[in-house]
């Protein structure tokens, strides 16, 4: 018996969980005090537990009323002998003597025993670490790390929620899409450090110009979104003028001097739409029109803008897109992912475009959430639909690719130009997967390896050149930011909910 008790306590310590039973007829609380020590911030009294629970002073203030109502419900519940309520669970925020907050998952059931006595039994598990990690993830999803403004993932959610709260009956709201004119010149002529400083300065100008209740979002690069609830048309236009005046300046010295200006597209709700997606599309069309008119301006959406954009011939548009792909790959990738309503679809299309452009047969993107040698495939392109594709990347192949990772001038890569240069055993391993050459760039967050994007050549040796390294590094950097934000949002959007 002592051995079993010792084993139970060891399991409780490892899982940070303690079991309990509340004998309601006798008003007694039973739990293993030794197991609870060091786990619970305090010990529940053995007797008089009903009054103690109803005071609920051990909980955060905002939880107490709901908890008291639930305790009263348990004490007054009536049901047939031998019957038990369904298992319930909630998260409790317990206060320690030092007023620190610890989070516990409470799982319990109310039952009526054969002798008529009523009991509540269950477990309390310390989830403080996971709760705080989820809170950190929430914060990471909500705010852009660079600017501190709301992120691309969270901004649409917040704008839609504010539209619901404010309503559109008799109220006017505005969504602005704005960016800097010729921002690429800043990075090209003055360097990316200056470019980052300009973005931070732009973020500060937004905070200083717009109202406290306005939503300020950074959706990537030099593009920002501002949502103004309950605003007049005149007030909105005046704020836009003030913002553009604060942005207007000269950077650098001749001949590299740059005239910095900003353009703004505006869509009003409810006439322009009553949800983020519709308003963004129209504000973006207005921004395009502002650029067409010569930049350094602000334009309110009009339906004729869409017709003007549609008049561009398809052949000319395709030629322009391919020119941007080859001459400004980072801008092309960024805009492709940013303006797509489906990030996954955009990534799949880019994988296909790059595979065809660089004459490789397979392209893929994966997360490393299941371990270094067993990744989870996100998206892939295969020129031959019968090709096994990413299924070829078994653990043995992943291990061999992993060993060849190195830091280069464009990012962290693993690559091989010809598997025939490897050992005989390695050649056999890659031959089974029909891989003759590969190039892969990692998703990195600090020192953490999160996954990557790569190419396989299934026909023969492939001398990977500078352009291919630059393209893949840019693709990995941008794709990681968008996909990682979506992953965090899905993991944490319901985390920490409390149910009574």
Q: What percent of the chain has pLDDT over 90?
A: 20
Taking the alpha carbons at both ends of the chain, their separation in whole angstroms is 37
Region of poorest pLDDT, from 55-69, 199-213, 402-416, 485-499: 485-499
Query: pLDDT tens digits, residue range 99-150?
Result: 678 888 888 888 877 777 888 888 888 888 877 777 666 666 688 878 889 9
Nearest 10 degrees: Cα torsion 31, 35, 39, 44: 20
Mention every residue, 6+ apart, whose C-beta is less than 8 A from residue 353: 325
268 lies in the same domain as 379: no
pLDDT of 445: 75
Instruction: Judge contact between 360 and 463, C-beta under 8 A.
Output: no
Q: Looking at the domain assignment, is residue 138 inside a domain?
A: no
pLDDT for the residue 478: 77
| Contact (CB, 8 A) for 398 and 367 | no
* Predicted local confidence at residue 484, as pLDDT: 60
354 and 290, same domain (yes or no): no
Q: Confirm if 16 and 32 have CB atoms less than 8 A apart.
A: no
Q: Which of 70-84, 140-154, 379-393, 412-426 bottoms out in mean pLDDT, i.e. has the lowest?
A: 70-84
Q: Are residues 376 and 458 in the same domain?
A: yes
Task: Find the CATH number of the domain harbouring 235.
Answer: 3.30.70.270
Q: Point out the domain boundary residue: 279, 311, 343.
A: 311
- The residue out of 113, 133, 153 marking a domain boundary is 133
Between CA 102 and CA 324 the distance in angstroms is 53
Residue 45 structural domain: 2-133
Answer yes or no: do 295 and 339 share one domain: no
In this structure, the answer to whether residues 397 and 349 fall within a common structural domain is yes
Count of structural domains, the chain: 3
Residues 6+ apart with CB under 8 A from 361: 355, 382, 383, 384, 387, 456, 457, 458, 459
Q: Is residue 378 part of a domain?
A: yes
Query: Would you state the pLDDT for residue 314?
Result: 40
pLDDT band at 341 (very low <50, low <70, confident <90, very high): low
Average pLDDT over residues 367-388: 74
Question: Where do we find the tokens 């308003």?
Answer: 279
pLDDT for res 328: 61
For residue 317, what pLDDT is reported? 44
The percent of residues in the chain predicted with pLDDT above 70, rounded, is 81
**Same-domain pairing of 354 and 427:** yes
Contact 298, 261 (CB under 8 A): no
Mean pLDDT, the chain, whole residue set: 81
Own/partner pairs for 392-401, CB < 8 Å, 24+ apart? 392/432, 392/433, 392/434, 392/435, 392/456, 393/364, 393/433, 394/433, 396/429, 397/429, 397/430, 397/433, 397/435, 398/372, 398/373, 398/374, 399/372, 399/373, 400/426, 400/429, 400/430, 401/438, 401/440
Are residues 127 and 147 located together in one domain of the fold? Answer: no
For residue 415, the model assigns a pLDDT of 93
Note the pLDDT of residue 467: 77
Among candidate residues 133, 168, 192, the one where a domain is terminated = 133
Which of 123-127, 152-156, 302-306, 315-319 is least confident?
Answer: 315-319
Kindly list the distances between the CA atom of residue 84 and the CA atoms of 87, 113, 118, 374, in Å, as whole numbers in the listed order: 9, 9, 10, 44
Backbone angles phi, psi at 61, to 5 degrees: -55, -40
pLDDT at residue 99 in the model: 67
Q: What is the pLDDT of residue 311?
A: 47
Q: Whole-angstrom Cα distance, residue 69 to residue 66?
A: 5
- Residues sharing a CB contact under 8 Å with residue 10, sequence separation 6 or more, in sequence order: none
- What are the structure tokens assigned to 213, written together? 């209740």
Does one domain contain both 123 and 148?
no
Task: Judge whether residue 82 has pLDDT over 70.
Answer: no
Both 121 and 155 in one domain: the answer is no
**47: CATH:** 3.30.450.20
- Per DSSP bridges, beta strands 448-457 and 249-251 are unpaired
Domain presence at residue 38: yes
Cis omega (within 30 of 0) for bond into 278:
no
Is the bond preceding residue 196 a cis peptide, omega within 30 degrees?
A: no
Torsion angle, CA of 472/473/478/481, rounded to 10 degrees? 120
Mark whether 175 and 49 lie in a shared domain.
Answer: no
Domain match, 117 and 235 both: no
**pLDDT at position 234:** 95
pTM (two decimals): 0.47
Whole-number pLDDT of residue 242 = 94
Provide the token pair at 94: 């317990």
Closest alpha carbon to 178 in 152, 162, 202: 202
Mean pLDDT computed over 289-301:
88
Residue 239 has pLDDT above 90, yes or no: yes
Decide: helix, strand or coil at residue 28.
strand
Least confident of 134-143, 214-223, 294-303, 350-359: 134-143
Q: Are residues 87 and 106 in the same domain?
A: yes
pLDDT digits (tens, 9 = 90+) for 440-451: 999 887 777 888
**What's the pLDDT at 323?**
53
Q: Is residue 304 part of a domain?
A: yes
For 277, the 3-state DSSP assignment is helix
For the cut 80, the answer to whether the pLDDT of residue 298 exceeds it is yes
Of 306, 339, 115, 302, nearest in space to 221 by CA: 339
What pLDDT score was predicted for residue 336? 67
Mean pLDDT score, 326-344: 64
Across residues 426-436, what is the average pLDDT? 90
Q: Is the pLDDT higher at 497 or at 189?
A: 189
Residue 257 has a pLDDT of 80
- Please tell me which residue, 229 or 2, carries the higher pLDDT value: 229
Average pLDDT over residues 234-242: 95
Confidence of residue 83 (pLDDT cuts 50, 70, 90): low
Q: How far apart are CA 307 and CA 140, in angstroms?
A: 39
Examine the pLDDT at 471 and tell me if it is beyond 70.
Answer: yes
pLDDT for the residue numbered 112: 78
Quickly list H helices, 148-270: 154-166, 183-185, 192-209, 233-247
């Amino acid at each position: 018996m002592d051995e079993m008790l010792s084993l139970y306590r060891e399991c409780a310590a490892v899982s940070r969980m303690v079991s309990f039973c509340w004998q309601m007829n006798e008003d007694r609380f039973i739990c293993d005090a030794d197991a609870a020590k060091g786990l619970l911030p305090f010990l529940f009294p053995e007797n008089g537990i009903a009054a103690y629970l109803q005071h609920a002073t051990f909980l955060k203030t905002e939880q107490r009323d709901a908890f008291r109502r639930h305790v009263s419900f348990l004490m007054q519940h009536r049901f047939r002998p031998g019957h038990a309520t369904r298992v319930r669970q909630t998260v409790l925020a317990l206060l320690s003597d030092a007023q620190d907050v610890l989070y516990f998952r409470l799982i319990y059931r109310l039952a009526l025993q054969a002798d008529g006595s009523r009991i509540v039994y269950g477990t309390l598990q310390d989830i403080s670490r996971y709760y705080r990690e989820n809170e950190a993830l929430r914060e990471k999803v909500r705010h852009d790390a660079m600017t501190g403004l709301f992120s691309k993932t969270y901004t649409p959610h917040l704008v839609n929620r504010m539209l619901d709260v404010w309503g559109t009956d008799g109220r006017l709201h505005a969504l602005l899409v704005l960016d800097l004119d010729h921002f690429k010149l800043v990075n090209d002529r003055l360097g990316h450090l200056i470019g980052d400083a300009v973005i931070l300065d732009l973020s500060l100008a937004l905070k200083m110009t717009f109202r406290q209740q306005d939503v300020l979002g950074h959706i990537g690069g030099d593009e920002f979104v501002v949502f103004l609830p309950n605003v007049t048309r005149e007030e909105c236009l005046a704020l836009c003028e003030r913002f553009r005046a604060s942005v207007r300046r000269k950077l650098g010295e001749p001949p590299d001097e740059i005239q910095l200006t900003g353009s703004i597209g505006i869509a009003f709700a409810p006439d322009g739409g009553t949800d983020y997606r519709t308003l963004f599309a129209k504000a973006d069309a207005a921004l395009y029109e502002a650029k067409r008119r010569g930049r350094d301006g602000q334009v309110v959406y009009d339906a004729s803008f869409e017709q003007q954009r549609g008049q561009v011939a398809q052949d000319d548009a395709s030629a322009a897109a391919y020119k941007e792909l080859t001459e400004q790959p980072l801008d092309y990738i960024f805009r492709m992912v940013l303006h797509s309503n489906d990030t996954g679809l955009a990534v799949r299309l880019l994988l296909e475009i790059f595979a065809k452009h660089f004459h490789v047969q397979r392209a893929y993107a994966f997360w490393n959430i299941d371990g270094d040698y067993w990744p989870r495939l996100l998206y892939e392109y295969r020129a031959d639909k019968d090709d096994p594709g990413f299924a070829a990347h078994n653990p043995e192949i992943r291990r061999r690719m992993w060993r060849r990772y190195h830091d280069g001038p464009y990012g962290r890569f693993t690559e091989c130009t010809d598997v025939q240069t490897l050992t005989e055993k390695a050649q056999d391993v890659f031959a089974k997967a029909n891989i003759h050459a590969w190039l892969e760039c990692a998703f990195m967050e600090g020192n953490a390896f999160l996954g990557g994007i790569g190419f396989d050549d299934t026909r023969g040796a492939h001398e990977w050149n500078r352009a291919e390294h630059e393209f893949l590094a840019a693709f990995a950097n941008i794709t990681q930011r968008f996909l990682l934000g979506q992953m965090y949002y899905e993991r944490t959007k319901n985390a920490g909910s409390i149910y009574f």
